[in-house]
Structure 1
Amino acid sequence: MTGSRGPQWPRWTPRVPRPRDRFRPGRGDVPTAAGLFVLGAFLYLAGAYPFFGGEGTFTVWSVPPGWRLLPLAGACAAVLVRRHRPVAALGAGAAFAAVDALFGFGIPMLLVLCELLHNAALRGSHRASRVLLRAVLFAAASAGVLALVVLHDGQAAVLLVILVLTVLFVPVWWAVELRRERELADAERARADQQATIAELDRRSAVAEERSRMARDLHDVIAGHLSAIAIQADAARSLREDPGAMEKVTAGMRENSLAALGEMRAMIELLRGPGPGAHDLPRTAPARLSDPGALLDSARAAGFDPTPLAVGDGRDGDAAAFLDPLPDGTPAAVELAAHRILREAVTNAVKHGRGPRLWLGARVRDGRLHVEVVNEMADGMFGGSTDEPTGGAAGAGGTGIGLLTMRERAAEVGGTITAGEHDGRWRVRAVLPLARTERDGRVDPGPAGR
């Protein structure tokens, strides 16, 4: 059984003894054995020991009461190992009880036998418990038959059967029920431990997922602006002789700085979430794919010339355009993912590509939103990787985080993304579904109306 702190044994099960402890009495065994022997000795010496029919009934040999203390002492010695060897202790006790029965049924020996029966049914195997129940029932029936044959008294036979069932069957039945209750309680504890473990794993998974989301948001929200600032600052160093261009570049740097600060502030306020309605706030700074102006201005400020792209290589008469109007009801998650992917692709093109040409566009076709960004490849850019799903190569001097975040953004809404060399240029292509399934509200990767 597994708990929240690893494997645990059932609480009621006795520990497995070491070899030197196998015959060492457990806690309470010595007082129990001593008490049974003292009580039995008192009953024997006081003469109040016959169990059924009085003195001489079912007696094979008559011996002085003092001699009967010997088998009683042996049976009480078996009590000392009842915890470690429950079935063996019962066997030894039954053997001494058989010897005592030759001298007539005695109450002291039956008390010891009841204790050993209860212990064997409680601590022995399940098979031993079932065998004991059947054995006690057989013993009761045999005692009734024996009484009927020897005494020729039906009433005495019935009375003996009732006495045997009361004295022997009840302890075994009680032990079986107690064991069943303990096993049920242990199963409930194990189930509670498993639920606690599952809850802890779910919590850790949620924390890891939240950390991953925060890392993507920080990269998408901040990295683009900081990359643009770095590129514009590098460009400003070569524009000292052109005050007009210098002013335009510095204005772009200021806009990107303010935008980065604003989006960082929005994210910090979101993470703090002091109000009761914090869960209703957007998880990131709002972004709209329908307004690519800031993205185009950032590319132009870095010395690139954004050009509308005929998404889909001009098939089906597609015309070149920066952006098609999005249909009504477009999921916000899809629009946000497309915006992040488009901005990350443009940022990577500005950082790693070769200007000044940059083609980009977004078009809705067949219930899907197609986003493409194409740029000239610089020497050694991305190691000449092929048009395969992202997640493989990182750009020269890059870490590959941008490609990874684009892939994760697309996967979150059920889309796909590829990035690689195409006709001597670097192309990023994303396909995002616009439809939702009626089953669970998740974005459906299939075409609309499927």
Structure 2
Amino acid sequence: MPPLSRPVRPHRDDVLIAAAGLLGGVLLWALGLRGAPPVPGLPPWASLVAAAVAAGAELLRRTAPLTGLALATAALALDTCAGTLLATVVMFTDLVYAAVLHGGPHAARRIPPGTALVTVLGTLIALAVARDPQALFVGVFLGLITLTPAWTGLIVRHHRDAAQAARLRAEQIALLAETDRAQAVAGERARMARELHDVVAGHLSAIALHTTAAQTLDDPAATREALGVIRENSVRGLAEMRRLIGLLRASGGSEADGEPPAVPTLDGLPALLTRARATGAGDGLSFSLHDGRQEYEDGARPGGSSRPGHGTRTGDGAARPGGTPATLPAPVELAAYRIVQESVTNALKHAAPGEVTVRLDRAPGGPLLLVVTSPYGTRRGPGGARVPGSGAGLTGMRERAALLGGACDAGPADGPDGPVWRVRATLPAAEEAPPT
């Protein structure tokens, strides 16, 4: 047997309304202030019973409004026959209003038209029975006690529902705004983490490599050279850190000290590879850049190839022969540069002796294809590393490509001279109009 539910207690305001209505009815009855004379045969206290029933119905005006309206209708009928106390009529009117306001949607739709129908029918019946124009006052009376409170309750209910819907919309907007803010903060934190990793990891890796070399070599000249590289990378890393701190502290985050920040582009790849060659020379690493975006006047590729539209740069930063690369959007240039930078840093940490190749290619109007290959494994065999890594760089490369709608994957692959570690990124890039 299911447990019995506890009865719902009436609202405090409903108790006060019921008490005031009952007290008013008793006072009017005691003063003899009643309407039409009672129907013969009814005791004079019958109107008090009707007032008490209507007062009891007021206790249900919020918890069970339709039940309260039914009781009030019966009480009004008895009161009409017993002499009509004004307090009972007022309580009935309030219960019509409460039934529309606090009842269900079905009641709110049906009661107002029902009161209009009752008013019209009551007026017609009164005119037919009395055959006197004064019978129209019956319709006016019915309209005042049924039609007016019903439609007033409907209007108030509509305003209440509209206000509640507005509050819900405001809460949803606030929730969406908070979600957007949290996503923006998370995105900015991820962007800062990528930028800090990319601009500092390369310099710190070079410092770690040359520190190890300085500790193991007995040659004073080699030690001095290693210390020079360490100092150079320390200065560069410090400058990059100061630049990032300036960007973070500047208002708007776009300018520092009144000057626009320097954004790396693909034109800086030769200098990047020059520094990488100096760092990796002691480990047998060389670096080359093959830029397929170049267009040459003679249509010839260095090395005897006649394929037009291709060029090659070596790690010393010289282009052979000179050409004009296609203009790419700044976000694509930055992402491509950072992906190459991280790939070169990983090669300095993990690659076996050999050539690290950076290839850029792009068909007219197509995406930018970036491939970096390096000999797989280290001098201590596959799986070893000169400098330990955390894997954050690979995550950052994938995130940079995904933010532009591209893709980036990294892993071992078969090369012409043996296994290689290959980083391949595809970055959608629409050409920008050259500046005029």
Query: TM class, shorter-chain normalised?
Result: 0.7 to 0.9
Ranges in structure 1 where 5+ consecutive residues have no aligned partner: 1-17, 384-393, 439-450
- Which residue of the partner structure matches residue 173 of structure 1? 151
Structure 1 Cα separation of the partners of residues 111 and 256 of structure 2: 62
- How big is the alpha-carbon RMSD for the aligned residues of Structure 1 and Structure 2? 3.2
Structure 2 Cα separation of the partners of residues 433 and 316 of structure 1: 24
> Any idea what the Cα deviations from partners look like across 1:124-183, whole Å, max 9, x if unmatched?
112112222133223223322332343232x12212111110222111111111111111
Q: Does 1:191 align with 2:169?
A: yes
- Which residue of the partner structure matches residue 8 of structure 1? none
- Which residue of the partner structure matches residue 45 of structure 1? 30
Q: Which amino acid aligns with 2:198?
A: D
Structure 1 Cα separation of the partners of residues 44 and 257 of structure 2: 88
Q: Closer, same or farther in 2 for the Cα pair 1:197/1:331, shift >3 Å?
A: same
Contact 1:369 1:433 in 2 (8 A): yes
Q: Does 1:428 align with 2:420?
A: no
Structure 2 Cα separation of the partners of residues 236 and 125 of structure 1: 85
SS at match of 1:371: strand
Contact 1:263 1:285 in 2 (8 A): no
Q: Does 1:55 align with 2:28?
A: no
Deviates more, 1:253-262 or 1:418-427: 418-427
Deviation at 1:351, TM superposition (A): 0.4
Contact 2:120 2:139 in 1 (8 A): yes
Structure 2 Cα separation of the partners of residues 26 and 366 of structure 1: 76
Q: Closer, same or farther in 2 for the Cα pair 1:44/1:64, shift >3 Å?
A: farther
Structure 2 Cα separation of the partners of residues 375 and 46 of structure 1: 108
Deviation at 1:223, TM superposition (A): 0.7
Q: Closer, same or farther in 2 for the Cα pair 1:277/1:215, shift >3 Å?
A: closer
> Any idea what the Cα deviations from partners look like across 1:96-119, whole Å, max 9, x if unmatched?
222333335443321221111111
Q: Closer, same or farther in 2 for the Cα pair 1:273/1:108, shift >3 Å?
A: same
- Which residue of the partner structure matches residue 343 of structure 1? 341
Structure 1 Cα separation of the partners of residues 97 and 386 of structure 2: 76
Instruction: Return the match for 2:185 from 207, 214, 235.
Output: 207
Q: Closer, same or farther in 2 for the Cα pair 1:20/1:417, shift >3 Å?
A: closer
SS at match of 2:6: helix
> Any idea what the Cα deviations from partners look like across 1:415-449, whole Å, max 9, x if unmatched?
333322232122223333441599xxxxxxxxxxx
Q: Closer, same or farther in 2 for the Cα pair 1:276/1:139, shift >3 Å?
A: same
Contact 1:296 1:306 in 2 (8 A): no
Structure 1 Cα separation of the partners of residues 231 and 257 of structure 2: 32
- Which residue of the partner structure matches residue 113 of structure 2? 134
Ranges in structure 2 where 5+ consecutive residues have no aligned partner: 293-304
- Which residue of the partner structure matches residue 240 of structure 2? 263
Q: Which amino acid aligns with 2:178?
A: E
> Any idea what the Cα deviations from partners look like across 1:367-403, whole Å, max 9, x if unmatched?
44433322211166469xxxxxxxxxx9995332221
Q: Closer, same or farther in 2 for the Cα pair 1:167/1:264, shift >3 Å?
A: same
- Which residue of the partner structure matches residue 95 of structure 1? 74
Structure 1 Cα separation of the partners of residues 58 and 180 of structure 2: 49
SS at match of 2:63: coil
- Which residue of the partner structure matches residue 86 of structure 1? 65
Structure 1 Cα separation of the partners of residues 275 and 118 of structure 2: 99
TM-score calculated relative to the size of structure 1: 0.80
SS at match of 1:28: helix
Structure 2 Cα separation of the partners of residues 426 and 276 of structure 1: 37
Deviates more, 1:247-256 or 1:328-337: 328-337
Q: Does 1:73 align with 2:64?
A: no
Contact 2:92 2:145 in 1 (8 A): no
Structure 1 Cα separation of the partners of residues 382 and 400 of structure 2: 23
Structure 2 Cα separation of the partners of residues 230 and 403 of structure 1: 20
Contact 2:285 2:356 in 1 (8 A): yes
> Any idea what the Cα deviations from partners look like across 1:10-57, whole Å, max 9, x if unmatched?
xxxxxxxx94341x331122221122122222333333321xxx436x
Q: Does 1:26 align with 2:8?
A: no
Deviation at 1:209, TM superposition (A): 0.2
Q: Which amino acid aligns with 2:373?
A: V
**How many residue pairs end up in the alignment?**
402
SS at match of 1:48: coil
Structure 2 Cα separation of the partners of residues 46 and 175 of structure 1: 32
Structure 2 Cα separation of the partners of residues 201 and 55 of structure 1: 70
- Which residue of the partner structure matches residue 218 of structure 2? 240
Structure 1 Cα separation of the partners of residues 87 and 401 of structure 2: 82
Contact 1:321 1:362 in 2 (8 A): no
